[in-house]
Chains A and B, each alone.
Chain A
């Protein structure tokens, strides 16, 4: 089976950097996604890692270590609009979603 663990809630200050961690267990690995979901809206794709290392995309970066079953999403220069839930997702077929980390960005 598959299992995903990520913190339930985090709070950070506007302009700061925040790291959202995710650990997972899976019998087969087909990559790891991060999705952003604003309250009441659909998840939107942020990143995909299939090889170990860091993928950078603007203010957002995602890291993967397959041997440790670990990933993180790094958000820089936080903005108020970054307040949302961030979902760690195993790229199996079908996708397996974590419960999400609700990030609150405060002034």
Chain B
């Protein structure tokens, strides 16, 4: 049973560029959440997708957008990258009506130079 997978593992981008990160949820899960984790901090919620719609959003600017596909996989897009966007981006999945804990993917380490 595959867990949550994310790609790519690492990414280096330049200020002003755009980036797309990808996530495949754990088998049987239908809800995907994205988090940003800066060094030495806890993860910060970006948004959550369920049934291909953004259901909740954290305190992040519109430069952060996402998508969920019919197979429940998801993308996180960040436009006009800033140095402060450098972080570990985590994807977590769960079954909305099922058990309470979220399962996290290994993350994508984004470095903006």
Contact = CB atoms under 8 A, between A and B. Distances in A.
Interface string A3-46: 01000000000000000000000000001010000001111110
Interface of A: 4, 31, 33, 40-45, 48, 87, 89, 91, 93-100
A67 B41 CA distance: 27
Contact of A43 (B33, B43, B48): B43
Given A42-B90, A42-B106, A97 B43 contact: yes
Contacts of B102: 45, 95
Pick the most buried of B44, B90, B101, B105: most chain A CB atoms within 10 A of its CB. B101
Nearest to B3: A42
Contacts of B104: 42-44
Contacts of B100: 31, 48, 91
Nearest to B57: A94
B16 interface: no
Interface residues of B, number: 23
Contacts of B84: none
- Looking at chain A's contact residues, the main secondary structure is loop
A94 B58 contact: yes
Nearest to B101: A45
Contacts of B45: 94-96
Interface in B30-61: 33, 35, 40-45, 48, 56, 58
Contact of B48 (A31, A41, A45, A94): A94
Contacts of A40: 88, 109
B42 A98 contact: yes
A99 B41 contact: yes
Contacts of A95: 33, 43, 45, 102
16 contacts: A33-B101, A41-B107, A42-B104, A42-B105, A42-B107, A43-B43, A43-B104, A45-B101, A45-B103, A87-B42, A89-B42, A94-B56, A97-B42, A97-B44, A99-B40, A99-B41
Contacts of B42: 4, 87, 89, 97-100
